Chain A
Amino acid sequence: MISRRRFLQVTGAAIATSTLAACGDGGAGGGGAKASGELTLPTYKPFEGLHPDFPGAESGLEPGFLKFPADAVSSVKAPPLKSAVTALTETFATPPPPMGSNPMWQALNSALGGELRLTIGTDPGYPEKFATLLASDSLPDLMWLPPNQGIPNVGPMLEAKFQDLTKYLSGDAVLEYPNLAALKPASWRTAVVNGKIWGAPIPSTPFGQVMMGNPKTWAKVGGLQCTTADEFFAKCKELTNGTNYALEPAIINMLHMFGEWFGAPNGWRVNQDRSLTHLYETDNYKAAVEYAAKLWAAKVFYPDLNLADATPKTVNGQIAAQVVVGPRATADFRTLDPTLFVDTMIPFGHDGKAKPVYDMGYGTVGFTPFKKTDEGRIRELLALMDYLSAPFGTKEYLVKNFGVEGQQYQLDAQKNPVLTKAGQQQAPGLVSALQIMNSPESVIFNPANPDDTRKIYETEQKLLKFAMRNPTAGTYSDTSSKVGPKLTAAFRDTIVDIVTGRQKMDAYDAALKRWKSGGGDKMRGEFAAVLPSSVPVTGS
């Protein structure tokens, strides 16, 4: 439902132009706990009665469904709302028709028992909208808080303006809201700041960025998969020809992929003595930058750095490979060409021997805090969160994502919901806005191409062999929250300069020095001080 380019930004991976912190790149740092030791996370009670065709796993493997469960069950007892609720959210599709002329929205309102008045921001510009609204002092009831769009000073902001929900959600208290209890503890960590719970987390794919390529294009050079960086380089050169190019010009994202082949850590490396080394400080990342510069000099990148979305060009073969978020993104290419199932690159060691890594993502797109209010209203808003977090396979999930049968969707031959013409017009913008403020745990589901689900499930298993998580995920650093986005942006400016040949490699060390003295060293200290003992030494 969420378009690839936009989703990339939400999940924090910066496109060449974006200013976001990337997952797996140490820039993010919104959630977590300073005093998480004292906090009991909400009790985890998975939703009963769902039987995926491919089971999920603790490792992050997403459950896969070939068919939407027949006879969807109800997951809430009563409509959650008594009066209207206002909320700020963001859509990553074309904004929907307004409530007054959107029957799907109206149907959702009547199912909820009250009007859900959404202010729907668009991308880019959400942090600015958020900040201005915050300064205006007339806050909506709910405001989606992205963990990685660089909203600074999250801790003091939450304390000043938003509602502490700990006593309603911590431990068994959450069981009153079964759909919230079905969110995993790993997801809940996003919503914990200063040892308090501030909202329901919004799970997304736990997988990070992957490189995808059009198999028709790559067939000429023996396929997308490679075993050494030199082989990849040679294939890229061969594919670049006339107005065809091997790689999309999203330098930072491509660099992220190369870093995995060169064994660079996910954000931070945990050393034997449990000290931390940042990604930028490793020789692995530096080697990846050199490799990227070599590719750039060979002119295999599409030469227009301002290219907004490479997807159509990958589909028509003008660009051979691009970077997207998570193996499920194959669906975005299917939308443009129903016959195309793109390949996903499995990381390999740069010299054919070294062990590659695969960086898992942030796992959530943040949480949605409540404006300070009284207990009755809090319960009402929590019931709304519960409704909108209804898992895949429930009636509420259908209402939220597909609308009403016969109006916005129909069941196809396999009994899968498919949007009607009216649904295609009313749903995407609204669904995207709802999904970004509340979501159940993610699943793999491709109603039109069930076999894709099996293939994606297999890809996920392959990626998980090399999976590495950011050791600081779920912890909090004041410095990272305050100056992290700015430091990351400045460092990346230099990296892009180096890769594109505007600066020499020796600019790397100068930029690194500035990153360290500007707050990087302070961040390291703060993250190291709260590094959970459960986080393993990197590479062990």
Chain B
Amino acid sequence: MLKANSEKRQARNGLPLKAKWRRDWQMVLLMIPGVVFLLVFFYLPVLGNVVAFQDFQPFLGIMHSEWNGLQNFVNLYANPDFWDALRNTLVLAGVQLLLFFPVPIGLALIVDSLVSNRFRRWFQTIAYLPHFLSWVLVVTLFQQSLGGAGFVNNLLRQAGLDPIPFMTNPDTFPLLVVAQLIWKDAGWAMIIFLAALTTVDVSLYEAAAADGAGRWRRLWHITLPSLRTVIVLLLILRIGDILSVGFEQFILQRDSVGSGAAEVLDTFTYYAGVVGGDWSSGAAAGLAKGVVGALLLWGANSLAHRLGEPGIFQKRGAS
């Protein structure tokens, strides 16, 4: 039995453990700092989620706070603000997925088709620099140009026209949010697609061109299929993360458009938990969000497998 097992393992890995260790020990060593980082800052704090099942009081601590079972989740279920926040989150995530996700792909295709190397590098740099600005700066920039007392509206006023409430209209808030997101992050997200594009075999294009395929046909039959794996991978990651639409961007603009439009799960958690002192409700909302996110991630990945894509992780031997 034992022998059969070890044989099986050997067959699966190809090499005995000892040989693998000899081959990979430097790699394992290099991984340690990363693993420790993940453990300390991601996995250990996960344990703190127990406060979701307590009536947590910071002055009593986790050890002495009272347990109250699922009461926090029941309260959450009954709280209309939570559902509003969830609805806003989903709407915003949907709009982001629809309007933001394709932009970096398009950008990458444009940059890739640029002939001048110098211009290309210049464009790339300009496109991804805003990623390094904080949300405070980005929102301020938008405020200064599109806000009620901003550049555009002051111009309109001087021209005797009515100002346009770009920043304060709750109905168009999702569009504003996506516009900010595109301005800030599309260039950054483009990089990964650009990298994928460099792996496309140039001879494919040459062969297709020789066969008389035009620009669009080459794009459709060669470029996009080569990007498909990356696109699906990023799409799955995005779906797993769909309930995290951002925090600072919303907390900064919450007063301008009202909580009805700008309260998302993360700001709800902050206001209920940290500011309102109801830490347990906040933790419960956060935990619920995490569980749903994990399920979505798993679901999207399974779907990708079913469509014949590798997805983000695979069952051994699946590929």
**CB distance A150 to B275 under 8 Å?**
yes
Tell whether, in the assembled complex, residue A131 and residue B274 are in contact, meaning their CB atoms are under 8 Å apart.
Answer: yes
A sample of 21 cross-chain residue pairs with beta-carbon separation below 8 angstroms, ordered by A number, consists of A16-B255, A19-B271, A19-B275, A127-B275, A132-B58, A134-B59, A157-B59, A160-B57, A161-B59, A302-B148, A304-B148, A305-B148, A305-B256, A486-B272, A489-B271, A489-B275, A490-B81, A496-B255, A497-B258, A497-B259, A502-B258
Complex interface: chain B residues within 8 A of A17 (CB): 255
CB distance from A312 to the nearest CB of B (A): 14
Given known pairs A306-B255, A496-B258, the reply for A150 and B277 (CB within 8 Å) is yes
A243-B157, A489-B271 are known contacts. Are A131 and B258 too (CB-CB below 8 A)? no
Complex alpha-carbon distance, A363 and B153, angstroms: 42
Q: Does the CB pair A304–B147 fall under 8 Å?
A: yes
Identify A160's interface contact among B60, B81, B274, CB under 8 A: B60
Q: Report Cα–Cα, A134/B158, bound state, in Å.
A: 54
Name the contact of A303 in the complex, choosing from B147, B170, B260, B271 (C-beta under 8 A). B147
Assess the B170–A135 pair: CB atoms within 8 A. no
Of residues 267 to 319 in B, which have CB atoms within 8 Å of A's CB atoms?
271-272, 274-279
- Contacts A485-B275, A485-B276 known; A242 to B143 CB distance under 8 Å? no
Is B98 on the interface with A (CB-CB < 8 A)? no
- B252 part of interface (Cβ distance < 8 Å): yes
Other contacts beyond A16-B255, A305-B255, A490-B81: 20, CB < 8 A: A19-B275, A150-B276, A152-B276, A153-B59, A157-B57, A160-B59, A161-B59, A243-B149, A243-B157, A302-B149, A303-B148, A303-B149, A305-B148, A305-B168, A306-B252, A306-B255, A485-B275, A486-B277, A493-B258, A497-B260
CA distance A153 to B61 in the complex (A): 14
B57 near A306: Cβ-Cβ < 8 Å:
no
Binding site for A on B (CB under 8 A): 57-61, 81, 143, 147-150, 153-154, 157-158, 163, 168, 170, 252-253, 255-260, 271-272, 274-279
Contacts of B153 in A (CB 8 A): 303
Q: How far is the CA of A486 from the CA of B153 in the complex (A)?
A: 35
* Complex interface residues of chain A between 146 and 169 (CB less than 8 A to chain B): 150-153, 156-157, 160-161
Cα distance, A500 to B258, chains bound together (Å): 9
Contacts of A486 in B (CB 8 A): 271-272, 276-278
Closest residue on chain A to residue B64 by CB atoms: A160
The CA-CA distance from A493 to B80 in the complex, in Å, is 14
A375 within 8 A of B: no
Q: A502–B260 contact, CB under 8 A? A: yes
Q: Tell me if A128 is interfacial: C-beta within 8 Å of chain B.
A: yes
Is the Cβ of A242 less than 8 Å from the Cβ of B59? no
Q: Tell me which residues across on chain B come within 8 A of A503, comparing CB atoms.
A: 258, 260
A237 CB to nearest chain B CB (Å) = 15
Q: Is the CB of A135 within 8 A of B58?
A: yes
Docked complex Cα distance between A154 and B122 (Å): 58
Within A499-534, the residues touching B (CB, 8 Å) are 500, 502-503
Whether A156 and B59, one on each chain, are in contact in the complex, defined by CB atoms closer than 8 angstroms, is yes
Which of A16, A150, A493, A500 is within 8 Å of B259, CB to CB? A493
Contact A128 B274 (CB under 8 A): yes
| Min CB gap B146→A, angstroms | 11
Contact of B143 with A306 in the complex, beta carbons under 8 Å:
yes
Q: How does the 8 Å CB contact mask read for A290-311 relative to B, with 1 for contact and 0 for none?
A: 0000000000001111100000
- Whether the pair B61, A243 counts as a contact (CB closer than 8 A) is no
A148 vs chain B, min Cβ distance (A): 13
Looking at chain A, what size class is its interface with the partner chain? Answer: 35 or more
A137 and B275: CB pair below 8 A? no
Q: Hey, which chain B residues are within 8 Å of A482, CB to CB?
A: 277
A150 to B278, CA, bound (A): 11
Cα–Cα distance between A157 and B56 once the two chains are bound (Å): 12
Closest 7 CB pairs of A and B: A303-B148, A152-B277, A135-B58, A486-B276, A157-B59, A493-B259, A304-B149
Please state if B154 and A153 are interface contacts (CB–CB under 8 Å): no
- Rounded to whole Å, the gap between the CB of B77 and the closest CB of chain A is 16
Report the minimum CB–CB distance from A482 to chain B (whole Å). Answer: 8
A205 to B151, CA, bound (A): 40
The distance in angstroms between the C-alpha atoms of A151 and B58, with both chains bound, is: 11
Question: Residue on A with the closest CB to B162?
Answer: A299
| Chain A contacts with B in 328-385, Cβ cutoff 8 A | none
CA distance A83 to B120 in the complex (A): 66
In the assembled complex, the CB of B163 is this many whole angstroms from the nearest CB of chain A, namely 7
Identify which of B61, B143, B278 contacts A304 (C-beta below 8 A): B143
Q: Per a CB cutoff under 8 Å, which of A243, A303, A485 touches B277?
A: A485
CA distance A153 to B258 in the complex (A): 28
Q: In the assembly, what is the distance between CA of A350 and CA of B9, in Å?
A: 86
| Chain A residue nearest to B79 in the complex (CB) | A518
Q: Please indicate the chain B residues that have their CB under 8 angstroms from the CB of A135 in the complex.
A: 58-59, 61
How many angstroms between the C-alpha atoms of A290 and B165 in the bound complex? 21
**Chain B contacts for A151, CB-based, 8 A:** 277
Q: Bound complex: CA of A152 vs CA of B274, how far in Å? A: 10
In the complex, residue of chain A having the shortest beta-carbon distance to the beta carbon of B81: A490
CA distance A135 to B65 in the complex (A): 11
CA distance A151 to B278 in the complex (A): 11
CA distance A11 to B277 in the complex (A): 20
Most buried by B among A131, A132, A306: A306
Q: What is the bound-complex CA distance between A99 and B178, given in angstroms?
A: 46
Q: Among residues 6 to 23 in chain A, which have CB atoms less than 8 Å away from a CB atom of chain B?
A: 16-17, 19
Among B143, B255, B256, B257, which residue has the most Cβ atoms of chain A within 10 A?
B255
> Which of B60, B81, B257 has the most C-beta atoms of chain A within 10 angstroms of its own C-beta?
B60
What are the residues of chain A within 8 A of B57 when measuring CB–CB? 153, 156-157, 160
CB distance from A340 to the nearest CB of B (A): 22
Chain A's closest residue to B153 (CB) is A303
Give the Cβ gap from A386 to chain B, nearest Cβ, in Å: 27
Q: In whole angstroms, how far apart are the Cα atoms of A497 and B256 in the complex?
A: 10
A500 to chain B: which residues have CB within 8 Å?
A: 168, 258
Q: How far is the CB of A28 from chain B (nearest CB, A)?
A: 14
Q: How far is the CA of A5 from the CA of B165 in the complex (A)?
A: 27
- B81 surroundings in chain A (CB, below 8 A): 490
Residues of B contacting A128 with CB < 8 Å? 274-275
List of A residues within 8 angstroms of B170 by Cβ: 502
Do B252 and A303 have beta carbons less than 8 Å apart?
no
Contacting pair B163 A303 (CB below 8 A): yes
State how many angstroms separate the Cβ of A481 from the closest Cβ of chain B: 9
Q: Within the assembled complex, what's the spacing in Å between the Cα atoms of A490 and B257? A: 15
CA distance A127 to B270 in the complex (A): 13
Task: Select from chain A the residue with minimum beta-carbon distance to B163.
Answer: A303
Inter-chain contacts of B274 with A (CB < 8 A): 127-128, 131
Across-interface contacts of B257 in A (CB, < 8 A): 502
| Measured CA separation A157–B277 after assembly (Å) | 12
Residues in A neighbouring B276, C-beta threshold 8 A? 150, 152, 483, 485-486, 489
